[in-house]
Amino acid sequence: MFFVELLILFCFPLLLACSASYLTWNALSRPVLFLVIATVALYLVYATSMWLLDPGPVGYSLVVREPGEAHTSEQWFSMLSPYKVPFLVFSFAAIPVLAILLRAFKKGMR
């Protein structure tokens, strides 16, 4: 799960930029340039939100069970839970950034 959590942490802005460009590909004048600029802009917003809303040290805790003790299910995505607030702030901040970029790269605007 650690690899999946790191993948989510590092690729979330790229996923948003790719989704926005995929959904509006035919409406954009330069879709590849939009994808590159949107990715860079979203990573800047992402880094800013993670820096300003730093959740502090995050890590795993080891669970030691005695022999014969019943197995309890461990929480999924335990590393991502402290990043809820920065993720939400980034998600809401990404909407106007993408809207401005979509408007700038829309066909027929020039």
Range of the domain at 100: 2-56+78-104
Long-range contacts of 58-65 (CB under 8 A, 24+ apart): 58/82, 58/83, 60/2
Number of folded domains that form the chain: 1
Tell whether 64 is covered by a domain.
no
Please write the tens of the pLDDT for every residue from 45-88.
999 998 998 777 666 566 667 777 666 666 666 677 778 888 89
| Residue 62 covered by a domain | no
CA–CA gap between residue 47 and residue 13 (Å, rounded) = 10
Contact criterion met (CB below 8 Å) for 98 and 38: yes
Residue at 67 is within a domain: no
Domain membership of residue 51 (yes or no) is yes
pLDDT band for 44, please (50, 70, 90 cuts).
very high
SS3 content of the chain, % helix, strand, coil (to 5): 65, 0, 35
Q: Looking at the domain assignment, is residue 70 inside a domain? A: no
Is 47 a domain residue? yes
pTM for the whole structure = 0.77
Within a domain: residue 72? no
